Amino acid sequence: MATFKYLKSTQEEDVLIVTINHPPANTLSTKLMSELEQLLEEYELNKEVKVMILTGEGAIAFVAGADIREIIKINDKKTGEAMARRGQVILSRLENLDKPVIAAINGVCLGGGNELAMACHIRIASDKARFGQPEINLGIIPGFGGTQRLTRICGAAKACELNLTGDIISSQEALRIGLVNQVVPDSDLMKHSLGMARKIASKSAGSISLILQAMREGMESSTEKGFSKEAELFGEVCETKDMKEGLKAFVEKRQPQFVDE
């Protein structure tokens, strides 16, 4: 992996751990977003890693939001729209990866940080984490997908409430409304995140990729088209070595030894 200024990465077997390191609050500056885009490209192409964990440096924030110092300089529609579209493209690339990303949310997760977390495939939160889309308190609106992903994840009513009030909610409330998958003690966050990452990484890379593709197709189209894509991809997986190994291992009552082929 390349060396970045705002992102630190370590590899533990086939799991990549990426830490956002932009003190004091890990804000999503333009330069950090560019680094994230490059890192996602490298992750996608790296056959040695099957799962990525994304977390924040320090005890305060996962990501506290976009960089206000950059936003305050915007004075025209064209510049503002370009900034929003750029962020949307990068987070959509994350969301559309055929390899999973787990957000290990260690602290405040607000505005752009919540938008980043929602683009990840799985979200595990510390019991100290806090969530929200407080842009309206600044006289602006979410720009990196907050009005869209929050609605799809939590439903229109709750998304409308959070976007229009700017309220910040606890990790337990985030769990209740389906914004996060799990809430764990702060001291156990990385342990639980690594545990899930390793469990997923033990599966066939082909099956992981095809499941993500099938789910994405269903989210973006009709149920009928989603079923059609699922059947097509099920057919593909039936020609893989891992399919044969998985079924054979089941019959023989042993753990499968997948080769990702």
Annotated catalytic residue 81: no
User: How far is the C-alpha of 76 from the C-alpha of 181, rounded, in Å?
Assistant: 38
48 is catalytic: no
Give strand ranges (E) for the chain.
Answer: 7-12, 15-20, 51-56, 61-63, 101-105, 108-110, 122-126, 130-132, 168-170, 182-184
Distance CA 194, CA 198 (A): 6
3-state helix, strand, coil in the chain (%, to 5): 50, 15, 30
Tell which residue, 100, 93, 65, 106, has the closest CA to residue 191: 106
Cα separation values, 206 from 48, 115, 202, 210, Å: 14, 28, 12, 6
Strands 130-132 and 108-110: parallel
Q: Which of 260, 114, 133 is nearest to 200 (CA)?
A: 260
Q: Tokens representing 167?
A: 């309220």
Closest of 140, 112, 130 to residue 20, by C-alpha? 112
The single residue of 35, 57, 135, 217 carrying the catalytic annotation is 135
Closest CA to 181 of 200, 196, 166: 196
Q: Is the Cβ–Cβ distance between 97 and 44 less than 8 Å?
A: yes
Contact 15, 46 (CB under 8 A): no
Task: List residues with catalytic annotation.
Answer: 115, 135
